[in-house]
Amino acid sequence: MIRGDSSDYELLDKWTKNFDCNGYKTCEIGVREGLGSKIIMDNVVNNYIHVGVDPYGNLEYQHYDNTGAYTCDYTDEMRDTMLKDFLPYRNQGKFTLCNMTDTQFMNDSEHRHSKFAFVHFDGPHMTKDVMTEAIWFANRSVNGTRFVFDDYTKYRMPMIAQVLSLYGFEVKDQGTNKCVMEKVK
Ligand SMILES: C[S@@+](CC[C@H](N)C(=O)[O-])C[C@H]1O[C@@H](n2cnc3c(N)ncnc32)[C@H](O)[C@@H]1O
Residues 8, 177: Cα–Cα separation, whole Å: 6
Residue to probe by mutation, ligand 1, list 3, 31, 127, most atoms within 8 Å of CB? 31
Give pLDDT tens digits along the chain (185 positions): 788 877 889 999 999 999 999 999 999 999 999 999 999 999 999 999 999 999 999 989 999 999 999 999 899 999 999 999 999 999 999 999 999 999 999 998 789 999 999 999 999 999 999 999 999 999 999 999 999 999 999 999 999 999 999 999 999 999 999 999 999 98
Does ligand 1 have an atom closer than 6 angstroms to the CB of 177? no
- The CA-to-CA distance between both ends of the chain, in Å, stands at 39
Expressed in angstroms and rounded, the spacing between residue 53 Cα and the centre of ligand 1 is 8
Residues 99, 31: Cα–Cα separation, whole Å: 10
Does ligand 1 have an atom closer than 6 angstroms to the CB of 5? yes
Residues 147, 171: Cα–Cα separation, whole Å: 9
pLDDT for position 4:
80
